[in-house]
Amino acid sequence: MNQILKNITSVSLAFIVLFSTMSFTINEHYCGGDLVDTSWFVKADTCMMEGMEMSSSSESIMISDTCCNDVITIIDGQDEVKQNNSQISFQQQVFVTALVFTYSALFSVVENEEVNHNKYIPPKLVKDIQVLDETFLI
């Protein structure tokens, strides 16, 4: 269970570093105020490519480029990932170790240990040795 938790934590931290350093763009194409196409990483398709050409029986009406609008959102990631090389003193290391040890001891499950001598039956008393040796505790 503890190993699984460590694996999940390490994978999630790797994804956090990956996504915080990754840059990408979001392209949106609007025609007449309506969102026609949204694209990530590449250019969005325009009205002409989407088949937005309107036609009637006698004439062909094409949407002009003046009503279309392209919105490009660029999301920049971190350029540098710097490791923090701060040094902690020996006293701080001892404190952190003691804190972790005592905190983990709060949640540890103590199993009931089986007492081996509960089922022990003492031998029958043949002679009373204290009376024979005349040693009495007062």
Tokens of 47: 């009205």
Tokens of 5: 């938790």
Tell how far CA 112 is from the center of its chain: 34
Neighbours of 1 (CB within 10 A): 5
For residue 72, give the nearest of 20, 30, 18, 33 by alpha carbon.
Answer: 30
Per-residue model confidence as pLDDT tens for the chain (138 residues): 788 999 999 999 999 888 888 888 888 888 877 888 888 877 777 776 444 444 333 333 444 556 788 888 888 877 776 677 778 889 999 999 999 999 888 887 777 777 777 778 888 888 888 888 888 887
Residue ranges covered by each domain of the chain: 2-75
